[in-house]
Structure 1
């Protein structure tokens, strides 16, 4: 497995683990949300859901090969910027922004 601290670095590894945990918790909550609604979740779980949804959108990006189909120019996002973005989302520093701010490489800063 390539995602090991000694290969990718401690910060990259820890960030990836936290992102995976956040997305996993969101997946676990989806049935509860479908049955009872988002309002029935604890405040902590609502925050987790909001951050997970931002992470999902942050993971989207306009690929260069899709330019001809989407009409949107491709964009390269470097590793350091990607890790920084995840850390900001996980820390709650971007909680005030709507999910759409993270979609397709839009500027969230």
Structure 2
């Protein structure tokens, strides 16, 4: 495995770690960093975060409460949201790596440095 593969793996792990930290600490700065690191695919992931939240609340609401008595989110919704957000941003990082590899291979094929 070449150095570029290690760098790509580290990049994907860093983005996944930032998304996890964003959910665990409930700090939007980590999510913002994950979005910025995965541009332009990160914008789609950001939209998907809100879609996933709606789906989790809608489908989960069929089976259980979506708000605790004190008005906070229940633990199941918080945990599911953290997992979904981490997955979405990790997939965005992998898609970004694949996009960069494809653009680089096109550039090499055309003979440009």
Same fold (TM over 0.5): no
Which structure has the highest helix share of the two? 2
Indicate the structure (1 or 2) with the bigger Cα radius of gyration.
Answer: 2
Q: Which has the higher contact order (CA 8 A, sep 6+)?
A: 2
